[in-house]
Structure 1
Amino acid sequence: MENIKLEKYQIDFVKIKVTIDNTTIIKMDRLIEHPTLRNQYSINPILGEHVKNFSLYFCNDNCVVIKSSIPYFLYGHNYREITGRQLDKFAKKIKELLGIDVLKGIVKEFEYGGFESIDISSHSYLTSIIGMNDFQLEKSTSFMKMYGKPSKAIHYKVYDAVANAKVKKTFDVAKFPQAAVIKHEIKFLNPKKYFGKEVTFFDLTLDWYPEITIRDSFYDLLPELKSKIVFRRETIYKPIKDDVMHILYATIKNIEQKNDYTLYNEIMDLINNSGLSASQKSKRKKSIALLEDSYNLESKNF
């Protein structure tokens, strides 16, 4: 599969925890209590066309937890770029509607993704995926595959953006191109665990800063993780070199194609569980990773 550049990068879903201090006065008259879930509220729909894409939960520690999709909350659909400017617009709108400053809130979860227009059907694209290196398949449906890496507390999801919009009843043919559209998305289940520090909503708004920003980190990460997807191919892998190592690895890649299953993760697990020293494990894993990259480079197209 050709490595096509992604577009319309965006932060989509966010879960933010905001401490409510003495200077914050929440506009409770603009909230509607959930009929069955205690302490959970939504914004009164008369206040905006898309405000239904929002929920607020009151915690016992003088905090509120806000969940929302930035593009859906602002525009009613997610097929568009979301930059720091739109995140700032979201923060200002929440401040205006409810009196809550989300900029100082701690981000507990968030999604970052980009879109890819493809020249084959979304179904063909998704069924051609046989695995993802360093990730385990966690969920698969007719229009989506989701892989996970528990050690990093992240999910990687690839799905048919049009089918997803139709399920959510937000599809508008005028907002999507004629070509099939795939969305690639990282979900950070615990940003602090991944980035090594608390991430504020303000951090996410920074498009540019003299130093490396959080946004720089996941902007580079998305194409890096996308490159780990393993696709089925029509042609047979041949050894890049004539030594035994390459003969065996080409054989492994061909076995993967016949069984729609990637063996890379099992090889890495085997090395991790061996009696080798840490440095020996590192060297062997690096060698396998280089082999995998070399053979995946041979399969840009199927």
Structure 2
Amino acid sequence: MKNTQLEKYQIDFVKIKVNIDSSTTIRKDRLVEHPALRNQYSLNPILGDYVKNFSLYFCNDNSVVIKSSIPYFLYGHNYKEIREGQLSKFAEIIEGLLGIDVTKGVVKEFEFGGYEKIEIRSDSYLKSIFGMCGFQLEKSTSFMKMYGNQSSAIHYKVYDAIANAKVKKTFEVAKFPKSTVIKHEIKFLNPKKYFGEDILFFDLSNNFHFGKNIMDCLHNLLHDFKGKIIFKNEIIYKPIKDDLINILYATVKNLEKKNSIMVYEELMDLINTLGLTASQKSKRKKSIELLEEAYNREFNIF
């Protein structure tokens, strides 16, 4: 699949926990209580066109949890570049409306993504995705695939941005181009687990965290993850036989090609670490050697 550039990079959804001290007076008169969920509120709709894209929860530890989509809150759709300037604007609006300084808050979850214009239909694009290295398929619909990596607490979502906008009734306001638009999006379910440190909303809105440019780091990470997608037309090796060993070895060879690693050498090193006799190690190495030779010969790899 042709590697195209992304555009309109953005911080989208955020979940922020803010400690409320004695110096903070929350404007509760501007909040509307949720009809069913206790301690959960939204902003009064008379305060703005898009303020419905916001929720606030009062915790028992003198803190509040705020959830919002930054682009939806500011513009009513998410086909928009969102950088530190827009994040600062969001913080200013929330402080002006409610008296809460979200820049002091810890970011508990957030999404970072970018858009890709492609020349084929979105359903054809999504069907062409075979998998994603290091990630498990967690959800698949007609216009979206979501992969997960539990150890990193990350989701990676690929979806038809136009179809999504039509479902959310934001297609007209977003003014999409005529081409197919795909969104690639990372969701950090636990930023501290991934980055090793808490990230404050202040860090995101100032594009700086522990000496690093956050946006540059997120750009690079998004492209790295996008590069882990395996497309069906990139599958070079197919099982020579239908047994499980050949299915697994063909899969391993395709992963080898995708990640530029030497699986044969890795397998040999792994066998050396096992508590086997010299004879047992020799037999297993010979089996791997025969498989490697068979696949190289079958697919003209020398």
Normalised-by-shorter TM-score class: 0.7 to 0.9
Counterpart of 1:31 in structure 2 is 31
Instruction: Report the more deviating stretch, 65-74 or 210-219.
Output: 210-219
Bigger-Rg structure (1/2): 2
Alignment correspondent of 2:250: 252
Shifted more, 201-210 versus 78-87: the winner is 201-210
Paired with 1:121 and 1:215, the residues of 2 have a C-alpha distance of: 30
Shift of residue 252, structure 1, vs aligned partner: 2.0
Amino acid at match of 1:207: N
TM normalised by structure 1 equals 0.79
What is the aligned-residue RMSD (CA, Å)?
2.9
Alpha-carbon deviations, 1:187-242, whole Å to 9, x = none? 00000000000000011112368931333321210000000000011x87389xxx
| 8 Å contact from structure 2 (residues 10, 80) kept in 1 | yes
- Please give the per-residue CA displacement for 1:47-78, whole angstroms capped at 9, x wherever unaligned: 00000000000000000000000000000000
Corresponding residue SS for 2:78:
coil
In 1, the alpha carbon distance for the partners of 2:222 and 2:253 equals 28
Following the alignment from structure 1 to structure 2, what is the Cα–Cα distance between the partners of residues 238 and 108? 42
What's the secondary structure of 1:56's corresponding residue? strand
1:206–1:149 CA distance, 2 compared to 1 (3 A): same
> What's the CA shift string for 1:126-157, capped at 9, x where partnerless?
11001000111000000000000011110000
Asked if structure 2 preserves the Cα contact closer than 8 Å seen for 1:237 and 1:253, the reply is no
Mapped partners of 1:158, 1:49: distance in 2: 28
Secondary structure (helix, strand or coil) at the match of 1:37 reads coil
Structure 2 match to 1:194? 194
Distance 1:129 1:30 in 2: 46
| One-letter amino acid of the structure 1 residue matched with residue 231 of structure 2 | F
Q: How many pairs are equivalent?
A: 257
Q: Which runs of 5+ in 1 are unaligned?
A: 240-247, 257-261, 279-302
Corresponding position of 1:120: 120
Distance, in Å, in 1 between the alignment partners of 2:36 and 2:209 is 44
- Where in structure 2 are the equivalents of 1:222-241 lying within 5 Å? 222-233=222-233, 237=236
CA 1:25–1:163: 2 relative to 1, 3 Å: same
Q: How does 1:147-296 map to 2 (within 5 A)?
A: 147-172=147-172, 175-207=175-207, 211-233=211-233, 237=236, 252=250
Question: Structure 1 residues 238 and 108, CA, compared in 2 at 3 Å: closer, same or farther?
Answer: closer
Calculate the TM-score normalised by the size of structure 2: 0.79
Corresponding residue of 1:242 = none
**For structure 2, which runs of at least 5 residues remain unmatched after alignment?**
239-245, 275-302
